[in-house]
Amino acid sequence: MAQGYNKFMVGNFNEYKEARSHRENVKQKGCSSAFVVAYNGAKRITVQEALMITSQKWFK
């Protein structure tokens, strides 16, 4: 419970495309508020920063 919300972290992905695909699967199962978040070690960073660090492209 954080700020009145239940927060769950599911999965560990090295490829952004895989994380986005998993997010869509979670949303199809009824969780309307699913997000992709990125961490560099224990520090949360933006997805854009993670893509730049790993030389990956934005995937829609």
**pLDDT the model gives residue 36:** 94
The domain in which residue 23 lies consists of 1-60
Q: What is the pLDDT of residue 4?
A: 85
d(CA 31, CA 28): 7
pTM (two decimals): 0.79
b/e map 9-48, b = 16+ CB within 10 Å: eeeeeeebeebbeebeebeeeeeeebeeebeeeeeeeebe
Q: What is the pLDDT along the chain (60 residues), one digit of tens a residue?
A: 678 888 888 999 999 999 999 999 999 999 988 999 999 999 999 999 999 999 998 866
Looking at the structure of the chain, the number of domains it has is 1
